[in-house]
A and B are shown apart, each in its own frame.
Chain A
Amino acid sequence: MADIVSLREGLAELVSDGDLVAMEGFTHLIPVAAGQELIRQRRKDLTLARMTPDIVYDQLIGAGCARKLIFSWGGNPGVGSLHRFRDAVEHGWPAPLEIEEHSHAGMANRYVAGAAGLPFAVLRGYVGTDLPKHTENIKPIECPFTGEQLTAVPALNPDVTVVHAQRADSHGNVQLWGITGVQKEAVLAAKRSLVTVEEVVPELTPRAGAIVLPSWAVTAVAEVPGGARPSYAQDYYERANTSYQEWDAISRDRERFQEWLADQVYGAEVKS
């Protein structure tokens, strides 16, 4: 059964230095407040997994929390490069960053295999790309019936998965809707999980297109209203496009980024 916790207590309890942490949310419901709380707790040597690392991981990488990134696309969506990510890869600042690059379908299949308790997933993917040359854990596998060459990627089982959702009930059942991405699979594949939610309500009412993560599949739930800002939470708030645009200037310059960190993260109150 999921515990209802504060964000600070929940992350302090669940995430240790060196863990493999997945923070998912595809454009929508990105757990930004949780990412900033990990920075505030000064976690180190994390391996960060995420299909689409955007500003949430740029911040963690720039703050020196990450040792490695497992991903399939990285960028500031609609704006350009992630400058903290580039600085880490190109100059090792503030720490070197190892990268493991996959395709979107490969990452999704890795979570699905992890959630199913299977050691690997099979897909038609990566063919005709250079990714297998650069990423060790993309291997060919032959169909024993047809002889067709397919691709096998290993299950991804995070130590901790963190996602954001619209609602939970007081028992810790979680409901999310809109673009649900791979959040369900990433939570089910993880050893431990924390879900930040817009609100805890007495009872979850059915909604078309919504999925429910049952309480027994979730370790902890923290009520963090606005926890996905500046991304959006459908039916709660819109995406703050200007924040993404402003991030470009903040993140281009090391000093300006460090001022932002001191002011907006280390100096800021924990949101919940």
Chain B
Amino acid sequence: MVDKRMTGADVISRLRSGMTIGIGGWGSRRKPMSLVREILRSDLRDLTIVSYGGPDVGLLCAAGKVRKLVFGFVSLDSIALDPHFRATRQAGAIDVVELDEGMLQWGLYAAGLNLPFLPTRAGLGSDVLTHTPELRTVIDPYDGDELVAMPALPLDAAVVHMNRADEHGNAQFLGPDPYFDDLFCMAAEQAFVSCERIVPTAEFTEVAHPATLRISRMMVTGVVEAPGGARFTSCVPDYERDEELQREYAAAAADDEAWQAFAGRYLREALA
């Protein structure tokens, strides 16, 4: 079987400006932050980001990497709103497609099935359709009900962070929730999995239920071993969220000087 181990730099070499990139995790939980930092340090720009957003979205917005954001929410969990994303959105600096969480899930699922759309009731009775005029509805050809037609959200690339992976690309979550990382990988042309630790395949089921093997090598292009790769977001049971660092991150939205200080300290030469 193919050895898919690679470095963060290898991942970046496979990405291009203008691509649509999906980011796994959920809010400020199990985000592939080491790969996000690689993107921040790169020349990539004009990205379309698809995410159940947390600080991944805020950082990429603050760094001017985002042209368009497709999202179910952007939150830091213990801090309700991400101030970097808020500032970017209030400035009207990016295009947004704001979706119901279920609609985003369905769009990723449709892309994974290679269908152009799927019908759903999620989004009905809300202003999502008002504010996202490119959405359409579809009529049930049997009973005449009107449903939302959720367009597929095919991704050029997906980046996710898991607790464990093997060198072939099988990957495991050990926390309470798989989020939709498998759907991100299925929706993507190329999927990159960073992980806390690369382990022998047999070790997966020695420590946890087989249902924790949410991502299979069929979905994965590359595996990056990145201990601490989700920090400062949580990656339980390996570590909790670093709340202090998250507060520092949020405070860095105060002004450009604060942002430059934060970026200089944590993102190195990332953001000139």
Residues 194 to 226 of chain B near chain A (Cβ within 8 Å): 205, 209-211
Would you call B117 and A143 a contact (CB within 8 A)? yes
**Do the beta carbons of A146 and B210 come within 8 Å of each other?**
no
The reply to whether A208 and B115 contact each other, CB–CB distance below 8 Å, is no
The contact of A144 among B138, B142, B209, by CB within 8 Å, is B138
Contact B116 A119 (CB under 8 A): no
B246 at the interface (CB under 8 A from A): no
Q: B47 at the A/B interface (Cβ < 8 Å)?
A: no
B151 beta carbon closer than 8 Å to chain A = yes
Q: Say yes or no: is B121 at the interface (Cβ < 8 Å to chain A).
A: yes
Q: Which residue of A lies closest to B145 (CB)?
A: A119
> 1/0 per position for A193-213, CB-CB distance to B under 8 A?
000000000000011111000
A227 within 8 A of B: no
- Give the complex CA separation of A207 and B116 in angstroms: 35
Bound CA–CA A141/B140 (angstroms) = 9
> For this complex, into which size category does the number of interface residues on chain A fall?
20 to 34
Q: Mark B87-130, 1 if CB is under 8 A from A, else 0.
A: 00000000000000000000000000011111111000000000
The residue that A207 contacts in the complex, of B136, B143, B210, with Cβ under 8 A, is B210
Asked, given contacts A144-B149, A208-B205, whether A122 binds B210 with beta carbons under 8 Å apart, the answer is no
Q: Is A152 an interface residue (CB 8 A)?
A: yes
- Residues of chain A with a CB closer than 8 A to B149's CB: 143-145
Contact B116 A139 (CB under 8 A): no
Q: A120–B138 Cα gap in the complex (Å)?
A: 11
B252 CB within 8 Å of chain A: no
The verdict on B147 contacting chain A, using a C-beta distance below 8 Å, is yes
The DSSP consensus for interface residues of chain A is loop
Report the separation of the CA atoms of residues A146 and B115 in the bound assembly, to the nearest whole angstrom. 10
Using Cβ atoms and an 8 Å threshold, which residues of chain B touch A206? 209-211
Known: A119-B147, A208-B210. A146 touches B116 (CB 8 A): yes
Closest CB in chain B relative to A125 CB, distance in Å:
11
* Given known A-B contacts A118-B120, A119-B147, A122-B115, A141 and B141 have beta carbons under 8 A apart: yes
Which single residue of chain A is at the shortest CB-CB distance from B143?
A119
Contact indicator A145/B205 (Cβ below 8 Å)? no
The residue on B at minimum CB distance from A137 is: B142
Assembled-state Cα–Cα distance A147/B209 (Å): 43
A123 interfacial contact with B, CB 8 Å: yes
Q: Which B136-164 residues have a C-beta within 8 angstroms of A?
A: 136-138, 140-143, 145, 147, 149, 151
Interface residues on B, range: 20 to 34
| Cα-based distance from A252 to B211 in the complex (angstroms) | 46
User: Which listed residue, A119, A124, A150, touches B142 by the CB 8 Å rule?
Assistant: A119
Chain B, residue nearest A117 (CB): B121
Chain A residues within an 8 Å CB radius of B137: 144
CB proximity of B111 to chain A, nearest CB, Å: 12
Instruction: Please give the distance in Å from B93's CB to the nearest CB on chain A.
Output: 27
Contacts of A148 in B (CB 8 A): 116
Chain A neighbourhood of B142, CB < 8 A = 119-120, 137, 139, 152, 154
The proximity string for A residues 27-68 relative to B, scoring 1 for CB distances below 8 Å and 0 otherwise, is 000000000000000000000000000000000000000000
Contacts of A124 in B (CB 8 A): 114-115
Flag if A209 contacts B119 (CB, 8 Å): no
Question: Considering the chains assembled together, what is the distance between the CA atoms of A140 and B140 in angstroms?
Answer: 11
**Residues of chain B from 167 to 215 with CB closer than 8 A to chain A in the complex:** 205, 209-211
Chain A residues whose C-beta falls within 8 Å of the C-beta of B205 in the assembled complex: 208
CA distance A206 to B142 in the complex (A): 41
- The answer on a CB contact under 8 Å between B120 and A122 is no
B172 to chain A, nearest CB (A): 13
Q: How far is the CB of B10 from chain A (nearest CB, A)?
A: 31
**Interface pair B210/A144, CB less than 8 Å apart:** no
> A120 to B140, Cβ gap below 8 A?
yes
15 new A-B contacts, CB < 8 A, other than A120-B142, A150-B116, A208-B205, are: A119-B119, A120-B119, A122-B115, A124-B115, A137-B142, A139-B141, A141-B138, A143-B149, A144-B117, A145-B149, A145-B151, A146-B117, A148-B116, A206-B210, A210-B210
Interface residues of A (CB under 8 A from B): 117-120, 122-124, 137, 139-141, 143-146, 148, 150, 152, 154, 206-210
